[in-house]
Amino acid sequence: MISKEELASLVKLLDDPDHEIYEQVKLKLVSLGSEVIDYLEEVWQTSLDAMMQERIENIIHHIQFEDVKKGLSIWAMSGSFDLLAGVLAVNKYQYPDLDDQKIINQIEEIKRDAWLQLGYEMSAVEKVKVLNHVFFHIHGFSGNTVNHQDPQNSYLNLVLESKKGNQISLAIIYSLIAQRLDIPIYGVNLPQHFILAYVDESEPTLPGFEAHNGILFYINPFNKGFIFGKHDVDSFLRQLKLEPIEEYYTPCTNIDIVKRVLRNLISSYKKLGFMNKVEEVEELLFVLDSQQYH
> What total of structural domains would you count in the chain?
2
pLDDT band at 227 (very low <50, low <70, confident <90, very high): very high
pTM for this model (two decimals): 0.90
> Residue 54 is part of a domain; what is its CATH number?
1.25.10
Residue 25 has a pLDDT of 86
- 45 shares its domain with 175: no
Neighbours of 10 (CB within 10 A): 17
Structural domain for 228, as ranges? 83-292
- 138 shares its domain with 210: yes
Query: Average pLDDT, stretch 261-281?
Result: 96
Residue 283 has a pLDDT of 97
- 91 shares its domain with 137: yes
Residue 206 has a pLDDT of 58
- 138 shares its domain with 31: no
The C-alpha atoms of residue 103 and residue 3 are separated, in whole angstroms, by 35
Domain final position from 22, 56, 77: 77
- 51 shares its domain with 93: no
- 42 shares its domain with 162: no
Q: Report whether pLDDT(179) > 70.
A: yes
Q: Report whether pLDDT(209) > 70.
A: no
- 119 shares its domain with 260: yes
Whole-number average pLDDT of the chain: 91
Closest CA to 248 of 235, 261, 259: 235
Ranges assigned E (strand) in 58-183: 142-143, 164-165
Q: Report whether pLDDT(43) > 90.
A: no
- 156 shares its domain with 267: yes
* CB under 8 A, 24+ apart: contacts of 100-106: 102/157, 103/156, 103/157, 103/160, 106/160
Q: Report whether pLDDT(107) > 80.
A: yes
Of the two residues 14 and 242, the one the predictor is more confident about is 242
- 133 shares its domain with 47: no
- Phi and psi torsions of 95, nearest 5°: -130, 75
Residue 211 has a pLDDT of 61
For 9, residues 6+ apart whose C-beta sits below 8 A from its C-beta are: none
Measured over the CA atoms of residue 27, residue 31, residue 33 and residue 36, the dihedral's sign is negative
pLDDT band at 5 (very low <50, low <70, confident <90, very high): confident
Q: Report whether pLDDT(208) > 60.
A: no
- 69 shares its domain with 91: no
- 64 shares its domain with 207: no
- 22 shares its domain with 119: no
Residue 203 has a pLDDT of 65
Query: Average pLDDT, stretch 160-166?
Result: 96
Measured CA to CA in angstroms, residue 270 lies from 30, 34, 93, 145, 151 at distances of 27, 29, 16, 19, 10
Query: Average pLDDT, stretch 192-211?
Result: 76
Q: How many helices (H) and strands (E) does the chain have?
A: 12, 6
The C-alpha atoms of residue 197 and residue 175 are separated, in whole angstroms, by 9
